[in-house]
Amino acid sequence: MVQRIWNFSSGPAVLPESVLEEAGKNLLSLGNSGIGILEHSHRGKAFLAVYHETEALLREVGGIPSNYRVLFLQGGASSQFFQIPMNFLGPNRTADYLITGAWSEKAIEEAAPFGGTHIACSSGDRNFSYIPHECVWSSNPIYAHYTSNNTIFGTQWACLPPVPDAVDLICDASSDIFSRPVDVSRHAMIYAGAQKNLGPAGVTLVIIREDLVECGSTTLPTMLQYRTHVKNESMYNTPPTFAIYLMGLVLKWIKSSGGLAAIGETNRRKAQKLYTFLDQSLLFHPTAVADSRSLMNVTFVTGDAELDAKFCSAASASGFDGLKGHRSVGGMRASLYNAFPEAGVDALLEFLRNFERENARSQ
């Protein structure tokens, strides 16, 4: 058996070991069906059972109300950036965007061809190191779109944005979906690529309120209309069967870990350990403003690019992978998604302390 190392990757990311073992067992035969999970028809009984169980777990774990539909789509969260405005925006309407990082910027850029866009707030003035407190809304937005966790910049909305009650709120939750309790009913739609908190790459989860589905354009290609996937329970064409299966296993793991409240507590504790260290460190400094810090992606720097690089190579030589920060922030980023074990955070803390001790003199 190969030794597994601490994987701080920002996505695709670490998965629970028990999930990987279970999936491995079912590659040759799903249960005692004699056919592996990758080989079952999406229309067959065996896969349909997997599909319905995954959906039921999503609803249970996420507390998804009955007037919301759950879709398993492809094309990544990035395809939702255009599919949303294609369906709901129009030349005479405006959608409001809360710009808190590179992903929100991409989302608004993709919306622009389909109608009016308005920036309700932006933290671009300080390299997205904070979550804005105030928004200025357009007069009658068709929806408001925000990114709940900013994977690259290490910031996260601690609570919902202050959107007027009547405005449909749409959330890109790709990097913090089901990492803490979520009030689905305050959203018209939540979407996320699965590969950070929920499973492997290849499936995009969409949770959408029923009445919104019917507001969508009827002139788009069939595959781009949400109603197609609602009507056909994500089986208009072949869905990403293995990714749906694995998401089901991850949801079972979340449920057996105590659900979103317990997962949220653990995630808070994991991130807090790192921030507490960083706040008193003489060498390392967090890049995000204190009230805006992400519990999923902890970004930090030494302030010296060469020392950052030295740290990253020393860390990877010691079995800590994926700590190099995104080029737009520099420094380091520790991604601590649901499946990242607390023991890995403790190991990193010890490594940080040792590195600090050995390198503080030269500072």
Ligand X SMILES: *Cc1c(COP(=O)(O)O)cnc(C)c1O
Please give the residue ranges that form the binding site for ligand X (CB under 6 A). 11, 76-78, 103, 147, 151, 172, 174-175, 193
Give the count of alpha carbons within 13 A of 175, CB side only. 30
Which residue type, as a one-letter code, is found at position 336?
L
> Is there a contact between 107 and 145 (Cβ–Cβ < 8 Å)?
yes
- Smallest distance, ligand X to C-beta of residue 172, A: 5
Cis check: omega of the bond before 141, within 30 degrees of 0: no
Taking the least distance from each CB to ligand X, the nearer of 55 and 176 is 176
Taking the least distance from each CB to ligand X, the nearer of 206 and 283 is 206
What residues have CB less than 8 Å from 73, skipping those under 6 apart? 79, 80, 203, 204, 205, 206, 229, 234
Active site residue 103: yes
SS3 state at 320 = strand
Which of these is catalytic: 6, 103, 157, 253?
103
- Smallest distance, ligand X to C-beta of residue 303, A: 26
Taking the least distance from each CB to ligand X, the nearer of 104 and 117 is 104
Structure tokens at 113: 């061809």
Taking the least distance from each CB to ligand X, the nearer of 76 and 264 is 76
DSSP string, 127-186: TT-S--S-----SS-S-EEEESEETTTTEE-SS-----TTSPEEEE-TTTTTSS---GGG
- Smallest distance, ligand X to C-beta of residue 59, A: 22
> Is there a contact between 96 and 85 (Cβ–Cβ < 8 Å)?
no
- Smallest distance, ligand X to C-beta of residue 193, A: 3
Give the count of alpha carbons within 13 A of 357, CB side only. 6
Structure tokens at 333: 């980023």
- Smallest distance, ligand X to C-beta of residue 103, A: 4
Taking the least distance from each CB to ligand X, the nearer of 60 and 109 is 109
- Smallest distance, ligand X to C-beta of residue 191, A: 9
> Is there a contact between 88 and 216 (Cβ–Cβ < 8 Å)?
yes
Query: Exposed, middle or buried, 21 (CB in 10 Å: 0-12/13-18/19+)?
Result: exposed
Active site residue 172: yes
Which of these is catalytic: 96, 168, 172, 308?
172
Which of these is catalytic: 6, 157, 176, 196?
196
Taking the least distance from each CB to ligand X, the nearer of 7 and 302 is 7
Write out the catalytic residue numbers.
103, 172, 196
